[in-house]
Structure 1
């Protein structure tokens, strides 16, 4: 603790107390991304500084007068700045450096940020840098919902179930990763809507074709959350509180010793909400047995949610034998009160007042990466993860509740509130491992190979349901293995980049399926092997105009609960078969390169998803199931545009049109839009920021986020017997104000979401929260 105080806090206290002339500022690239390691040199003198990982610098104890500063960074054009320190004690600079291209013996060296390099890949990929959201009261889901092509449907407030759609494909077809590790079976406490922005460095969104290092049976894209692994020492702490008794906190930090490479890393979060927001319901008239024609506003009363996580890693960084070698442990748990059946359509007449779900998770992880392992240009990375989780579902109450929180005792003594009485315990054991190697034969030719394994065992018992005891008494096994090979070619002085790849999928599922009475059981075994392949190519017409095209033949295998039920509300369908898709993407990215004051970016992406044996969920309360649709075709376009004026005003626009239809010509539903799938949505984001507003090194940011989702069908449109009910369109407006002091060390943020208190109905026509307020405090300090 004394070392941290001496190396981090004390220097800042000293510099704050100093009254000598000083110069501070932030150095960024032309896209506003911080440039760590940039040098600022006082010309004609010996004083200077280097920027930290946030691009910040400070030069103190300058004499009064005129000075010339030279700002330099590898791969960028240098700048010389003149200033006069006689006018004020401290001056603040915000400098943008332009990328430089220098030819040395026919070798082109271009300075680019990591995010820029990912964007310039041949794949259809978007990159979100979470640093702009770290002060906001937001989670990963809310960040992703701003990305064109993505729509996230939620069934309620914090901790509710959600469905993420990416360019027409949703659910398990889009795989999520954290630092390249699949999150398929990490459980609800480690889902995307639990991770606060503080834990995230960048998010990569692959639309369509997925590179082989993200190894899984991803049918329609992948989302990779990358946490902060920079070799620095830092502390990042935040706490927020808001409407509906919502509290979130995060404490993250890292200690890194440059000499030994020893590194200790901690990441943690805590989330809680009562979720007692008002909703409109049709009250059941107990005398007539009918629902009232008029709606009554009530508060949700049994919908509280808690989740927390602590992740500790220790290891070494930046050594000759490893760029990073870390071993870690994760503990996480959550608790959820159930207000109604999670698969209910609309609002239930009888709310749930006592049923709950909870889980606890323990994870051990090992990660390794090294560039130039043993030989030049051989880059390797690997991980191994073991997960042990316990889930508990409790539904044994015989009481019948109404929407005012009152109940009648012992109304249904033989059943619970959601169906048959259950007190179900389920244990998951999951082992994941991945090894990846890339070798650059020459500057133009690169080979890569990847192997991954994902093995899951499920076992459990139920105090009330013999069916679950029979089905889960012996382990149910899912084993997936994927081998990937890739080749990348750079041609035409790196203007043309092409990657071809193949994936070999191996799948084994063994499960016991019990009859409804729980007396008999049958062992099902499914083995599958598939070959997938794809191509991704990009061509730079100019430095700032990039064309992309990609294709992948992709597969996804049914999850065990899709085929054999979850022991609760999903009934088995062992006849499910793997789904496949031919995924096509064509896109263009255009951005400014020379404008110093105004910058702009336009990105457009067209896509086609031609899917076979599409696995679709059919909600039927406690008899829900998964089915195969023979053929589903998705076509669409998404657009993203951004315009920045003088580094202060920014306008961002994103929109998606999706045509997702049943494509089985032998079906009576041929040509119908798929139910419960939005087809037109977008957002408009306006932001303003002003530095040195009230004092030196402060900054005020104001962001207005507008989100629109057009109305869409809840059920198949052509089934008149079910009615052509729709989920109504919605327009929401959020306003966030953030004030930062001392170059981002102290931060205060205030958020008003859904300012107009619009009625928001979303997944399965569930009503989401209305207007809400939130205040967030964040403290961040770092040392290179």
Structure 2
């Protein structure tokens, strides 16, 4: 629920919120569909207070501020202690040791802070400066509940992400506008890293990454109702929590995984017209994305017929695609529309990522990705 105040001298909107959720999930299959579980499950709960604040014309005319923040405290318990192996028919047979995937009864305690700040400052009518900052901090501690006495891992998993952006927008007329922007990416990661091939000894390791992105975008009305949009961005995608730390069950994270970097080019044409009570909107666009250090999800063989997912940086990937959409409306009575997207994601590595040998999958589609 949310509660707050609106339309005050010092705040257009101030909201406090609180969300509680409870989760119970039966895990029916592993990372491969032929792997079936009968009793494996997880449960958890989360508490999330939140804050929203916005004010137009704060302190001076033309200065608009918006702030959001939330704290998510959640606990997830993974339970995998059954001594039976199941098939799709529900038949089971006794195993030599407990655990359908791995003998596990553990709790992951997660603490996650998120915040965004957006400041717009309009100078006269044709200039606008925008500053945006996104903050995310995360900490996870794992506790084994198999023994009578709880045993917490000695090394917690932590990350801090900061993305700051500054943009300038020129709006000389209603027919066209131009924006240029820059972004600063900062990533800090800390957690356990195995020192032996058997992964029976760990040390705490940390790493930092800082990068700068940039880009430009513009729009232009070719004819009344017909608008063209063109944008370019040198962008970075920071790894997700799951890609770095896994889910403490079927997904194995990699603390050393690097962010994706890409050169993105987009071009769109849109048409919007109203004829009496009839309205028509159509849009089409093309996409070009050249990605390096592409983050790919693979399947790892853990031996004994058991598998888990893992994440790697896969060299270079080239994406080409297009989108089309259309919508028709009749007054306030009818609105109907649809869209179609095709993304052709291809392997762009001429040689293998692990050697200088020829990559036999060069120019082939990347696996396990929808393209329509």
Q: 1:414 aligns with which of 97, 100, 103?
A: 97
For structure 2, the 5+ residue unaligned runs are: 301-305, 353-358
The aligned counterpart of 1:672 is: 364
Alpha-carbon displacement from aligned partner over 1:132-161 (angstroms, at most 9, x marks no partner): xxxxxxxxxxxxxxxxxxxxxxxxxxxxxx
Q: Is 2:108 the counterpart of 1:426?
A: yes
Within-5 A mapping of 1:100-115: none
Change (3 A) 1:573 1:382: closer
User: Residue by residue, what CA displacement relative to the aligned partner does 1:22-63 show, whole Å, maximum 9, x if unpaired?
Assistant: xxxxxxxxxxxxxxxxxxxxxxxxxxxxxxxxxxxxxxxxxx
Q: Is the 1:455–1:479 contact (alpha carbons within 8 Å) kept by the matching residues of 2?
A: yes
SS at match of 1:624: strand
Aligned to 2:77: 392
SS of match in other structure, 2:243: helix
| CA distance 1:648–1:562, shift in 2 (3 Å) | closer
Contact 1:433 1:452 in 2 (8 A): yes
Q: Deviations over 1:585-613 (max 9, x none)?
A: 100110223x1143321100111111000
Whether 1:376 aligns to 2:56 is no
Matched, 1:591 2:272: yes
Cα distance in structure 2, aligned partners of 1:360 and 1:562: 22
Greater Rg, structure 1 or structure 2? 1
More helix by share: 1
Give distance in 1, aligned partners of 2:20 and 2:338.
39
Deviation (angstroms), 1:415:
3.6
Distance in structure 2 (CA, Å) of the matches to 1:645 and 1:564: 50
1:388–1:645 distance in 2 versus 1, CA, 3 Å = closer
Q: Specify which structure has the higher proportion of strand.
A: 2
Residue of structure 2 equivalent to 1:461? 143
Q: Conserved in 2, the CA contact under 8 Å of 1:545 and 1:591? A: yes
In the superposition, the TM-score normalised over structure 1's length comes to: 0.44
Deviations 1:169-198 (A, max 9, x none): xxxxxxxxxxxxxxxxxxxxxxxxxxxxxx
CA contact (8 A) 1:439 1:446 kept: yes
CA distance in 2, matches of 1:358, 1:517: 30
Quote the Cα distance in structure 2 between the aligned partners of 1:546 and 1:640.
Answer: 15
Going from structure 1 to structure 2, the CA distance change for 1:401 and 1:530 (only over 3 Å counts) comes to: same
Aligned with 1:332 (options 15, 21, 26): 21
Q: Is the 8 A contact 2:155 2:204 kept in 1?
A: no
Q: 1:558 to 1:645 in 2, by over 3 A?
A: closer
Question: TM-score if structure 2 supplies the norm length?
Answer: 0.89
Counterpart mapping for 1:514-593 below 5 A: 514=194, 519-593=200-274
Alignment CA distance shift 1:364-1:645 (3 Å): closer
Partner residue, 2:10: 321
1:618 aligns with 2:292: no
Q: State the 1:542 CA deviation.
A: 3.0
Kindly indicate whether structure 1 or structure 2 has the higher relative contact order, using CA contacts under 8 Å at least 6 residues apart.
1
Shift of 1:518: 6.0
**2:338 corresponds to 1:657:** no
CA distance in 2, matches of 1:391, 1:638: 38
Counterpart CA distance in 2 for 1:375 and 1:622 is 59
Structure 1 residue matching 2:229: 3-state secondary structure: strand
Q: Closer, same or farther in 2 for the Cα pair 1:326/1:585, shift >3 Å?
A: same
Q: Which of 275, 278, 286 is the equivalent residue of 1:606?
A: 286
Q: Which residue of 2 aligns with 1:499?
A: 179
Give distance in 2, aligned partners of 1:452 and 1:649: 39
Aligned residues of 1:389 and 1:428 also touching (Cα < 8 A)? yes
Q: Where does residue 447 of structure 1 map in the other structure?
A: 129
Counterpart-to-counterpart distance in 2, 1:559 and 1:404: 36
The verdict on how the C-alpha distance between 1:517 and 1:414 changes in structure 2, with shifts beyond 3 A counting, is: farther
> Deviations 1:396-443 (Å, cap 9, x if unpaired)?
1011223333433xx2242411x2211120011111222221111111
Task: Sort the Cα spacing of 1:316 and 1:588 in 2 relative to 1 into closer, same or farther, 3 A.
Answer: same
Distance 1:429 1:651, change over 3 A: closer
Q: Provide, for residues 374-394 of structure 1, a one-character-per-residue CA deviation record: whole Å limited to 9, x for no partner.
A: 111110011221111101111
Preserved CA contact (<8 Å) 2:27 2:40 = yes
